[in-house]
Amino acid sequence: MAETHSLQDLRQAAVASKVFVQRDYTSGTICKFQTKFPAELESRIDKVQFEETIQTLNNLYAEAEKLGGRSYLEGCLACLTAYTIFLCMETHYEKVLKKIAKFIQEQNEKIYAPLGLLLTDPIERGLRVVEITIFEDRSIGSR
Amino acid sequence: MPVGLSVGGALGDPSPSRPFRPSRYVPVSAATAFLVGATTLFLCFTCPWLSEKFSSFIPLYNVVVFLFTLANFCMATFMDPGVFPRAEEDEDKEDDFRAPLYKTVEVRGIQVRMKWCSTCRFYRPPRCSHCSVCDNCVEEFDHHCPWVNNCIGRRNYRYFFLFLLSLTVHIMDVFGFSLLYILHHTKQLDLVQSGVTMAVMCVAGLFFVPVAGLTGFHVVLVARGRTTNEQVTGKFRGGVNPFTHGCFKNIAHVLCSSQAPRYLGRLRKPQSVQVQPPFLRPPLSEAQLAAKVLDNGIQQSKSSLEIMESQSTDADPPPPPKPEHRYPGLPHTQNEECSLLTEAPPTPSLYKYRPAYSSPGKNHTASTHSSKMSRGNSMTESPSVPVTTGQPSYRSDPSLSSRGAAGCRGGAEGGRSGSGGLGGASAFGGRSYPSFTDTLLQSAAASCSSSLRSAHTAHNALGPLISEGTTSTSYKSLANQTRNGSLSYESLLTPSESPEFESAAHELSPPRPHPPHSLSTAAGAAPILGYTSPFLSAQQREGSLQACPAPLRPSPNRAFLRPISSPPSRAPPLSPRARSLGSPPPGPAPGHTPLGKSMSYGGGAELQHRPSSSGGGTSMPNNTVSFFLPPMATLEFLHAHPPFLCPFPFSVLFLSLRSSAVLFPALLLPCGHKDESVSVLSSTIKQNVANHNTHSHKPARGVKKVSGVGGTTYEISV
């Protein structure tokens, strides 16, 4: 991808492969990702840690899509203002998405980057997959 | 699709610039003109008198309703309906030639098919569909509305629905108050105001009937939790809708959910995290260490490792056997392992591409072995489909056949879909769905198809060891290549005859994709599956014929796969034919087979609608409405957009549609009567559609049990 070919990235490890964690549709069309541990990550990260990350993501998305009083009020307010409120106010979903982006960044910094992995925010893929980039581990050998 | 410069540098630009087609703007301009023009005239000519005579609240009320209508109209018109960005190349690195066209997932106990979109390069999520007018996949696609010149999808359905409601109310108000004016001015009808008011009344009266009809239709859809697409393609006819949460919750979901985010045009934050070696490694478990010993870079599950060890005393696993040398007598579990070996990427370049869709399945052989990936890869998970060559490898369900027929009906895309449909339902384990590949190949080109067919049939004859993947591999690639609809309708007719056979035979083979070279194994194998294959037992043929009374299998609309017994190697079957959604989804529980309650809902009808062209999109003749329009669906669609509401150029086109003659009586039928309207239409529709009715929507009656691969028995509605 062009984005990774900047000068800055030359110092980064080379990308070895990518794993895509798909959506879990067993509960319908709500946004939920499979917590199944991909085989490619077996030697790179702890299974429990990975599942915890995905589960937290799922919980955050569930919060975003929750049909509660808050989203209802937001809808009513939008109707009353002929939807002009969307120009100034951030919707509930967007707020949670920001939270998710922050969470992913934190996870990357603290857990995944040291392991040679990188999580990509699923919103960039249309909430279809969680892309995990596996970087080449030159010290031990490419996997 | 014209390849042009990408417009906009926004993230995930959905499609290259499309040619400017002014005709697309005619309906939306007309709608805007009528709405704004008529209301303005009403407010200027009629309202002054009304405010004097009665109260000034009347014009105020009308203005409020009008503004609400206009706001919803604008939102429906300009809001992104939920377009998915094109998948990036990495996601689709899995070899096109090896990936199936369909993937089934289980949604709340019901099998749903996800189709590969060759334009957008991903498997369409459930309820997603590709709009050929917009050339994008849209989430929870409802329909493409020409009146707003936009797709209606997840993000803007609410505004569209509110627009319809408010427009109905507005029309009623305008008509009512205009009538009041006229009734008070019966002796002054020569006044300008009276004339204008009468004209406004006429316009309002004229638009009221179709708008109210459409509003009523959508009220029913919202209550049932369906999209227009699902309704007109009859996906849930006689079956269960896995996406409904009950009437109240469905309405709440439409009206009260938070605004879904857009996927396009998002600012992508630059990656600020540096990833530099050396990297930490998690501590390895014993099992992982054991695996490492045998691991030569090939992904293997522990169970397959055990198998390998038992096979050979060498520490290194044997090289992957070529498919043509596979010994048919090996137990089914070998297939998993063999297929694993064969699918090991031979030459890892910098990228070791894993199929996105198969991450839960293909790469996790253990899971496919033991437990059931309830989603992702099929209704049946494991390749543990024993070679039940003795079994009438029945091709599961009407959906398959319907897709086969649909293929016949639809031309290129239809052909693909038909086969895909077959594949989808017949998937056993893994993720490939071999059956459709035959149809595809047959339809692809007569000249090359015959050789390919024999290759594929050979595969099937070799039973489970021949991965269905080989046959299915070309499917996705062909789908990608034949976007321009090179398939002819006629070429699909023959194969449509026995989509059952295809899938039946296919089901003998395990769901493992194999490198294309395995195609060469064909020789002397089962003859062409698309046609009556001598390899299929009489029972198979009978079964499929009974399931599919007409020679051309129809059932564009529904396919319910209801296995009532699972193969012995599987977990005990779940309750058969779970008609209600009450049964909890099996989830990732190991040993669970989704088969027990699988009712495949896969969008057969959708498949058939591709009269031609784009692999990803659905095209509609004459560009009238970019929408799926099988002949049967034309009724429903035209109900949604009645012909006489159309501006002149479109009315001609509507009249030219096949079913328009029969449309009117059925136009205002409530949704519940769609079956009858369908029967009305069926006489005007090609024979392969007629078949649909026979077994489409009455699962409770005439259920035929047919057994499939591995002893799985399916109930087909006849």
pLDDT one-digit tens code per residue, B507-549: 444 444 444 444 444 444 444 444 444 444 444 444 444 444 4
Q: What's the whole-number average pLDDT of chain B?
A: 61
Please state whether B149 falls in left (phi above 0), alpha (psi between -120 and 50) or beta: left
Mean pLDDT of the region B697-717? 57
Instruction: Read off the tokens for B30.
Output: 């007309």
- A67 and B249 within 8 Å at the Cβ level: the answer is yes
pLDDT for B7:
39
Cα separation, B362 vs B516, in Å, equals 17
- Where is pLDDT greater, at B618 or B231? B231
Q: Does B701 have pLDDT greater than 70?
A: no
Measure A14 CA to nearest chain B CA, in Å. Answer: 8
Closest C-alpha among B318, B303, B370, B324 to residue B465: B324
* CA-based radius of gyration for chain B: 28
pLDDT in tens, B470-502: 444 445 555 555 444 444 444 444 444 443 444
pLDDT in tens, B97-111: 667 888 899 999 888
- Confidence grade of residue B237 (pLDDT, cut at 50, 70, 90): confident
Neighbours of B53 (CB within 10 A): 11
Mean pLDDT of the region B215-221? 95
* Torsion over CA: B536, B538, B539, B542 (sign): positive
- A13 and B91 within 8 Å at the Cβ level: the answer is no
Dihedrals φ, ψ of B562, to 5°? -130, 80
- B277 and A91 within 8 Å at the Cβ level: the answer is no
Cα separation, A70 vs A79, in Å, equals 14
Q: Does B35 have pLDDT greater than 90?
A: yes
pLDDT for B605:
38
- B interface mutation test: which of A10, A19, A25 has the most B CBs within 10 A? A25
pLDDT for A104:
93
Q: Is B47 a catalytic residue?
A: no
DSSP state of A111: I
| Range among A128-132, B351-355, B451-455, B690-694 with highest mean pLDDT value | A128-132
pLDDT for A51:
93
- B256 and A116 within 8 Å at the Cβ level: the answer is no
- Confidence grade of residue B448 (pLDDT, cut at 50, 70, 90): very low
Q: Which residue type sits at B158? A: R
Residues 6+ apart with CB under 8 A from B105: A25, A26, B111, B112, B114, B126, B374, B375, B376
Q: How many Cβ pairs within 8 Å bridge chains A and B? A: 220
- A34 and B360 within 8 Å at the Cβ level: the answer is yes
DSSP state of A37: P
Mean pLDDT of the region B667-674? 40
Mean pLDDT check: name the lowest of B51-55, B57-61, B163-167, B539-543: B539-543
Cα separation, B556 vs B401, in Å, equals 8
For chain A, say whether B91 makes contact (Cβ under 8 Å).
Answer: yes
Q: Is the peptide bond before B278 cis (omega within 30 degrees of 0)?
A: yes
Cα separation, B363 vs B357, in Å, equals 10
Is residue B660 within 8 A of residue B639, CB to CB? The reply is no
- Chain centroid to Cα B617, Å, comes to 11
* CA-based radius of gyration for chain A: 18
For chain A, say whether B3 makes contact (Cβ under 8 Å).
Answer: no
Cα separation, B512 vs B505, in Å, equals 15
DSSP state of A33: B
Token look-up 């086109």 returns: B653
Mean pLDDT of the region B598-602? 41
pLDDT for B265:
87
Mean pLDDT of the region B332-357? 43
| Cβ contacts of A62 on chain B, cutoff 8 Å | none
For chain B, say whether A87 makes contact (Cβ under 8 Å).
Answer: no
| Cβ contacts of A12 on chain B, cutoff 8 Å | 274-276
- A124 and B274 within 8 Å at the Cβ level: the answer is no
For chain A, say whether B280 makes contact (Cβ under 8 Å).
Answer: yes
For chain B, say whether A19 makes contact (Cβ under 8 Å).
Answer: yes
Which residues in chain A land under pLDDT 50? 9, 141-143
Bridge partner list, B123: B116
- Where is pLDDT greater, at A25 or B707? A25
- Where is pLDDT greater, at B384 or B713? B713
Residues 6+ apart with CB under 8 A from B196: B41, B45, B46
Q: Give SS3 for A61.
A: helix
Is residue B299 within 8 A of residue B363, CB to CB? The reply is yes
**pTM score, two decimals?**
0.57
Exposed, middle or buried: residue B571 (CB in 10 Å: 0-12, 13-18, 19+)? buried
Q: Give SS3 for B600.
A: coil
Q: Does B114 have pLDDT greater than 60?
A: yes
pLDDT for B338:
43
- Where is pLDDT greater, at B304 or B702? B702
Q: Does B228 have pLDDT greater than 90?
A: yes
Cα separation, B157 vs B135, in Å, equals 19
Is residue B646 within 8 A of residue B596, CB to CB? The reply is no
Mean pLDDT of the region B439-454? 44
Q: In chain B, whose CA is at the least distance from the CA of A76?
A: B256
| Cβ contacts of B376 on chain A, cutoff 8 Å | 22, 34
- B interface mutation test: which of A6, A7, A19, A20 has the most B CBs within 10 A? A20
Mean pLDDT of the region B321-337? 45
Q: Does B443 have pLDDT greater than 80?
A: no
Residues 46-75 of A with CB under 8 A from B: 46, 49, 64-67, 70-72, 74-75
Of A36, A97, A136, the CB nearest to B360: A36
Cα separation, B157 vs B140, in Å, equals 9
- Identify the helix (H) or strand (E) that includes residue B289: helix B286-294
- Where is pLDDT greater, at B177 or B341? B177
- Where is pLDDT greater, at B319 or B435? B319
Residues 6+ apart with CB under 8 A from A52: none
Q: Strand pairing of B352-353 and A15-22?
A: parallel
Is residue B675 within 8 A of residue B650, CB to CB? The reply is no
Number of residues written out for chain B: 718
Mean pLDDT of the region B420-436? 40
- Confidence grade of residue B665 (pLDDT, cut at 50, 70, 90): very low
| Cβ contacts of B372 on chain A, cutoff 8 Å | none
pLDDT for B710:
56
Cα separation, B84 vs A123, in Å, equals 10
Instruction: Read off the tokens for B483.
Output: 């976007």
pLDDT for A127:
93
Alpha helices in B85-125, H assignment, sequence order: none
- The long-range contacts involving A22-25, CB below 8 angstroms and separated by at least 24 positions, are A22/A128, A22/A129, A22/B356, A22/B357, A22/B359, A22/B360, A22/B376, A23/A127, A23/A128, A23/A129, A23/B125, A24/A58, A24/B375, A25/B105, A25/B106, A25/B107, A25/B112, A25/B125, A25/B126, A25/B375
Residues 325-384 of B with CB under 8 A from A: 350-354, 356-357, 359-360, 363-365, 367, 373-376
Cα separation, A130 vs A50, in Å, equals 12
pLDDT for A137:
75
> Cα angle vertex B492, ends B488, B494, to 5°?
135
